[in-house]
């Protein structure tokens, strides 16, 4: 039955990403995927193939083009992806050659295109015969040309390391609710349940698992003791210090990791959680319920304050704005296939619009933490620079007293892999009191 075949499922997932422009998250959360009769181990193999193929798609697509006598027709995109799945298994995943070739040929036949089975067999056996290997610049070639060029322009000699880090498998990092426990107790609980883990070297309250697992298997997860969140993202609640009773806005809140962390760290605040996606806010509600916290949840566009703001200014605002996601490519490799160069300009405009709107609902003397999971300077330090030039009532609070990331002209940047963290950017601003 094809619906339980991990390679067939991987093909269907990739077709939705490549042809429909859907993210892996949306496909995996869809009713179709959730209802598949496949075993857990088969779904794990599917995810391994899909994430790996997205990570190396651009490179493998180029290698495949060089081994075809003529390009495949647009209506045969499924066969192209079948071939790429085969190449991924042979060249990167390390699947035994006989199994990789045979299973990929079967995958072509499952598409009811008998002619394709001979092509798949010939291409994959040709790769084996020629002992094809990835080049020394494979990591860079796995990025779209425009993204590679922008990384090189922004980071010059650091670009190569950034691209290598972006192609690595991400760690599974947990956040401990330090109001209910401490890292040492959390580690002891994990160890007692058979999980190998260690405390994060930089971020207090963070634990890194030696290998990923199903979150529901974690002892204390359902009770809110642990949450899954990269260490870099955990820094937001540390940086946006909130006084007891403060009115706080998490302006782009879903799915709620930072919302919950703010409430755990500052339990006496009054927090509004805003997001434009009602469906993603359902996940935020689930996270709040699991961890035993509450917040005022609002559906709305952060830039359209007239639709949701009721007049009571905020003491603190977290502006974790929409961005290119280039700092989390190792975690979301489908971004390489879905993001376009033209998106950056529109994202920068959206970020600027959100900053302007949120600044108007921040009290004089209040603080705003601007953050992205991008490593493009236009979305980060350049964005903050432009904002400060427009606003004489805004002053940056330098993030000097830290041992993570690197200080930029404005804000602080974490590059992918640094401290075993995702790529993140933070800048802390204060609205000066009226004179």
The DSSP string of 405-417 is: SEE-SSSEEEPTT
Bridge partner residues of 427 (DSSP):
370
Catalytic residue among 46, 54, 252, 373: 373
Q: What is the mean pLDDT of residues 350-368?
A: 98
User: Which overall architecture, per CATH, does domain 172-228 show?
Assistant: 2-Layer Sandwich (3.30)
pLDDT digits (tens, 9 = 90+) for 193-247: 999 999 999 999 999 999 999 999 999 999 999 999 999 999 999 999 999 999 9
Residues of the chain with CATH 1.10.940.10: 2-134
Neighbour tally for 232: CB within 10 Å: 29
What proportion of the chain, given as a percentage, has pLDDT over 90? Answer: 95
Q: What token pair was written down for 72?
A: 């495949």
pLDDT digits (tens, 9 = 90+) for 84-100: 999 999 999 999 999 99
pLDDT digits (tens, 9 = 90+) for 103-124: 999 999 999 999 999 999 999 9
Report how far Cα 261 is from the mean position of its chain's Cα atoms: 18
Measured in residues, the chain has a length of 435
Q: What token pair was written down for 250?
A: 């998490």
* Backbone angles phi and psi of 50, in degrees to 5: -65, -50
Is the model's pLDDT at 2 over the cut of 90?
no
DSSP state of 55: H
Euclidean distance between CA atoms 258 and 211, whole angstroms: 23
pLDDT of residue 435: 65
Residues of the chain with CATH 3.40.50.150: 231-431
Regarding the domain with residue range 2-134, which homologous superfamily does it belong to in the CATH classification? NusB-like (1.10.940.10)
Q: Would you call 213 a catalytic residue per the annotation?
A: no
Q: What token pair was written down for 62?
A: 């180029």
pLDDT digits (tens, 9 = 90+) for 416-426: 999 999 999 99
Residue 400 CB partners (closer than 8 Å, separation 6+): 407
pLDDT of residue 291: 94
Helix, strand, or coil (residue 230)? coil
Residue 28 CB partners (closer than 8 Å, separation 6+): 13, 47
* H runs (alpha helix) in 89-167: 97-110, 114-129, 138-141, 145-155, 159-166
- CATH topology for the 231-431 domain: Rossmann fold (3.40.50)
Q: What token pair was written down for 146?
A: 């425009």
Euclidean distance between CA atoms 423 and 333, whole angstroms: 13
Q: What is the mean pLDDT of residues 245-272?
A: 97
Burial of 160 (0-12, 13-18, 19+ CB in 10 A): middle
pLDDT of residue 434: 80
User: For the chain, what is the mean pLDDT?
Assistant: 96
pLDDT of residue 114: 92
CB 251 within 8 A of CB 298: no
pLDDT of residue 192: 96
Is the model's pLDDT at 1 over the cut of 70?
no
pLDDT band at 401 (very low <50, low <70, confident <90, very high): confident
pLDDT band at 46 (very low <50, low <70, confident <90, very high): very high
pLDDT of residue 55: 98
Is the model's pLDDT at 260 over the cut of 80?
yes
Q: What is the mean pLDDT of residues 47-60?
A: 98
pLDDT of residue 3: 87
DSSP state of 32: H
Torsion of CA 319, 321, 327, 330, to 10 degrees: 110
Residues of the chain with CATH 3.30.70.1170: 172-228
Euclidean distance between CA atoms 251 and 176, whole angstroms: 23
């Amino acid at each position: 039955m094809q619906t339980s075949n991990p390679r067939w499922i991987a093909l269907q997932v990739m077709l939705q990403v490549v042809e429909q422009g859907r993210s892996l998250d949306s496909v995996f959360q869809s009713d179709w995927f959730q209802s598949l009769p496949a075993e857990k181990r088969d779904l794990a193999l599917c995810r391994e193939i899909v994430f790996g193929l997205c990570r190396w798609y651009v490179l493998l697509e180029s290698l495949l083009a060089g081994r075809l006598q003529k390009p495949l027709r647009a209506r045969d995109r499924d066969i192209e992806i079948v071939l790429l799945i085969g190449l991924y298994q042979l060249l990167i995943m390390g699947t035994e050659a006989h199994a990789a070739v045979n299973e990929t040929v079967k995958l072509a036949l499952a598409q009811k295109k008998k002619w394709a089975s001979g092509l798949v067999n010939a291409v994959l056996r040709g790769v084996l015969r020629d002992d094809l290997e990835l080049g020394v610049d494979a990591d860079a070639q796995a990025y779209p040309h425009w993204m590679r060029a922008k990384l090189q322009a922004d980071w010059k000699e650091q670009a190569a390391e950034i691209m290598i880090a972006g192609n690595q498998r991400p760690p599974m990092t947990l956040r401990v609710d330090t109001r209910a426990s401490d890292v040492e107790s959390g580690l002891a609980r994990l160890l007692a349940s058979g999980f190998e883990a260690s405390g994060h070297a930089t971020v207090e309250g963070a634990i890194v698992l030696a290998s990923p697992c199903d979150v529901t298997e974690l002892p204390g997860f359902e009770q809110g003791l642990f949450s899954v969140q990269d260490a870099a993202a955990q820094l937001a609640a540390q940086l946006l210090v909130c006084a007891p009773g403060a009115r706080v806005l998490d302006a782009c809140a879903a799915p709620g990791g930072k919302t919950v962390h703010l409430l755990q760290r500052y339990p006496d605040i009054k927090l509004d959680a805003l997001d434009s996606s009602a469906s993603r806010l359902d996940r935020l509600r689930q996270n709040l319920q699991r961890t035993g916290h509450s917040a005022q949840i609002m559906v709305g566009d952060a830039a359209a304050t007239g639709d949701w703001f009721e007049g009571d200014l905020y003491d603190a605002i977290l502006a974790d704005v929409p961005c290119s996601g280039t700092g989390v490519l190792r975690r979301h490799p489908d971004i390489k296939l879905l993001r376009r160069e033209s998106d950056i300009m529109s994202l920068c405009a959206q970020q600027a619009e959100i900053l302007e709107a949120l600044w108007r609902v921040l009290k004089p003397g209040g603080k705003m933490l601007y953050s992205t999971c991008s490593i493009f300077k236009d979305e980060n330090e350049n964005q903050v620079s432009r904002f400060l030039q427009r606003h004489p009532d805004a002053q940056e609070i330098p993030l000097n007293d830290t041992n993570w990331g690197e200080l930029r002209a404005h804000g602080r940047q974490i590059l992918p892999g640094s401290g075993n963290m995702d790529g993140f950017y933070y800048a802390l601003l204060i609205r000066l009191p009226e004179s």
